[in-house]
Structure 1
Amino acid sequence: MTEEKPPSIRQLDALVDRLAGGVSAERAKQLRMVAGMFARAAARDVFPPSASLRVEVLFTDVLRTFWELAVAGELRYRAEDVGRPLPLATQRTVRDCLGILAGEAVPDREVWLPVLPETKPKPTVSPAEAAVLYRRLADMAARASFRDGSGLSFEDRTRLLAMVAVVLDCGARSGELAVMRLDDLGEGEATIGVRRRPQKGRGRRAEEIAAVVGVSVKTAQEVLWGRPRRISAVTQQAVLDAAERLGPPPGVETYRLREGTRVAVRRWLAVREDLVADLEGARSALWVSLRPRGIRQGGVERSWPAGVPLGPEGVRTAYARGMVALNMLMAGQYGWSPMPEKLEQLRRSVTAEPIEA
């Protein structure tokens, strides 16, 4: 029988539940991870008695004790991982979540947060490597059978080539690829429109800023609109700093597609047409799934047919699978440098300029 959580941890769980609806799924998962770490710390009796009663006490000097245990790996979920120190990237995630939780739990109080060294961005792809990548993907996509060691079907390879070619021409992020529609393609597939941010927030990127900072859209809007009710000074400054870094929000940017990209996109459109042929309702998404899939949500099994729109995670997964297959296929061949499995590393190597309006 599991031991009942103290009131402060139950309050923290409730706070995370409230926040989860206003942040990305990934951030919500991270917040729940940190709440679980607090629960495991409380179970060790390392906090003073007052920390078991009110959630606000967790964000006093108690936070330093929590941080020391977390960094040392003593609050990991899996027993076999306990004692393995947290890598810097995970420390940064935990620190950011602590800032979000503190902003909600004690909005009127300055809270100690650890200072971490800046992480170096992962290396990007050079222009020469990008050219080789495109040629190898084109070779792989042209093969009639997937029994070539890649493990990717013809549909996989066709979509991958078109997607990578579009990224190389416009530098789109995974979320920007996910919201592309057929009508974003210009006549003859000569151009493509990229929505660089959701159209909200009094001309400011409220949703994009919220995603960067890891707060709800409502919180970002209230700070940007000068109505920061019960929002901590730390969160306010983080929102304003993100707004400054992002600058004025552009509208839809249009990019010219190279001839090779046009051919790749046309081939994908032919494959896509077969995938969505039997679907009912809207079928406007440019990037769609290739196979039916099912997941379990809240104890209920749900299934989706092939041809449904890819979300950002689906875009990232499709790219990663393709790079794993391509790296295996090309391993040891002269002149081949393994490609990064994260789409972001490829995107950051692109310096495409939009067409002037």
Structure 2
Amino acid sequence: MSERKPQSVRQLDALVDQLAAGVSANRAKQLRMVAGMWGRAVGREGMPVRAGRSVGQLFTTPALKAFWGLAAAGELRHRAEDVGKPLPLATQRIVRDCLGILAEAAVPGREVWLPALDNVPPRPTVTPAEQAVLYRKLADMAASGPLARDGTGLSFEDRTRLLAMVAIVLDCGARSGELAAMRLDDLGKGMETIAVRRRPQKGRGQRRDEIAALVGVSPVTVSEVLAGRPRRIPAATQRAVLDAADALGPAPGVETYRLREGTRVAVRRWLAVRDGLVADLEGEKTALWVSLRARGMSRGGVERSWPEGVPLGAEGVRLAYGRGMVALNVLMAGEWGWSPMPEKLEQLRRSVLVEPIEA
């Protein structure tokens, strides 16, 4: 029989269950991660005895400081083999943000201690010259057969989808969620344009990244100010964030971008492949980006496969792009003018500077 959790941790788990209904799936996963860390922290040496009595006791300064010392040092990791590996700065920021959310729900109105952290440096982006090489090399490869090198391969279908996806991103700067939301009717007449549904968010937070760039602070700082949780944020910074948010106004719901000729060719080639993938499916077949038939190994070592033609979600888009870029970097290594491309779609997207066309 497993050891019974302290009352404070059980209350915290119940609180996370309530919060999960009102946040994104990714944030809910992060909140559960932090709740699990609290479960491994309470009762340890250095943690106040009272921390096990009620959820409010978890958010006292002594408990938070003891928790943070253990968490940052990697002592509260879930997997035994990872215990002792310090948390990277990006993960520390996630844990800190979740502590703020949990504290606001557990002890509303109370000022709680949270650690001060440096901003996470943004990942490097792709220069205009590298974008041009990427676009040209993919176009050169688009009509040829499967490629392989050093055991790494990129099928014709994979390459066709990757070229169309990268070309679309370079022409409109779409995020993974915005790519996943694209439908066939978002392509304009003659495939000369693409309509992008910008991610729906609430209020001035729609333009968080733009506000952060204007003010010169991290997106997390912007979120804290706009959400009314400006703890430890200087008053001048808060004012600058609010002024920038008012100046920008809300982000448009749908923007239309012009597609270059090469992009139109790439999309037509992808649509020809896509038609074969969705041919045997029932129901609506409107998603622009769909899966290829793939095989993999489950955690238990059992081989599994997933069907072709299924619409890709945001995570599927990120995985398709990342896998394609890993293979492409291997295949193109040593080619004249080729620099290793980032394996994160966000790094490519942030390098794109384009303007939507007039309605």
TM-score category (smaller protein) = 0.7 to 0.9
Q: Quick one: distance in 1 between partners of 2:297 and 2:108?
A: 37
1:130 match:
131
Q: Secondary structure at the match of 1:121?
A: coil
Structure-2 change in CA distance of 1:303 and 1:13 (3 Å) = farther
Which residue of structure 1 lines up, in the alignment, with residue 254 of structure 2? 252
SS class of match (1:164): helix
Q: Distance in 1 between matches of 2:106 and 2:230?
A: 13
Q: Which stretch shows the higher mean deviation, 17-26 or 269-278?
A: 17-26
TM-score by length of 1: 0.84
The residue aligned with 2:320 is: 318
Local SS of the residue matching 1:281: coil
Look up the equivalent residue of 1:329 and give its one-letter code: L
TM-superposed deviation, 1:295:
11
Indicate how the Cα distance of structure 1 residues 184 and 19 shifts in structure 2: closer, same or farther if over 3 A, else same: same
d(CA) in 1 for partners of 2:229, 2:9: 21
In 1: Cα distance, 2:198 partner to 2:88 partner: 31
Any conservation in 1 of the 2:175–2:349 contact (CA below 8 Å)? Answer: yes
User: How big is each residue's C-alpha offset from its partner over 1:94-135, in whole Å with a ceiling of 9 and x where there is no partner?
Assistant: 111111111111122111111111121111101110111112
Contact 1:9 1:39 in 2 (8 A): yes
1:157 corresponds in structure 2 to 159
2:169 corresponds to: 167
Matched, 1:80 2:85: no
CA distance in 1 between counterparts of 2:356 and 2:83 reads 49
Asked if 1 retains the 8 angstrom alpha-carbon contact of 2:291 and 2:312, the reply is yes
Matched with 1:69 is: 70
Structure 1 residue 167 displacement after superposition? 0.3
Which of the pair has the greater relative contact order for Cα pairs under 8 Å at 6+ separation? 1
Aligned to 1:117: 118
The count of residues paired between Structure 1 and Structure 2 equals: 335
* 2:120 pairs with 1:94: no
Extract unaligned runs of 5+ from structure 2.
Answer: 209-218, 299-303
Q: Distance in 2 between matches of 1:4 and 1:140?
A: 59
Amino acid at match of 1:137: L
Gaps of 5+ in 1: 215-219, 297-301
Q: Is the 8 A contact 1:107 1:233 kept in 2?
A: no
Task: Provide the TM-score with structure 2 as the length reference.
Answer: 0.84
- Equivalence for 2:140: 139
TM-superposed CA distance for 1:48, in Å, is: 2.4
Range 287-296 or range 174-183, more displaced: 287-296
Cα offsets for 1:294-327 (capped at 9, x unmatched): 999xxxxx98632121111111111101110011
Q: How far does residue 87 in structure 1 lie from its aligned partner after superposition?
A: 1.3
CA contact (8 A) 1:294 1:303 kept: yes
How far does residue 189 in structure 1 lie from its aligned partner after superposition? 0.5
Letter in 2 for 1:342: K
Question: Of residues 282, 285, 289 in structure 1, which corresponds to 2:284?
Answer: 282
> Aligned to 2:57, what secondary structure does the other structure show?
helix
- The CA deviation at 1:47 is 2.6
Identity level (%): 71
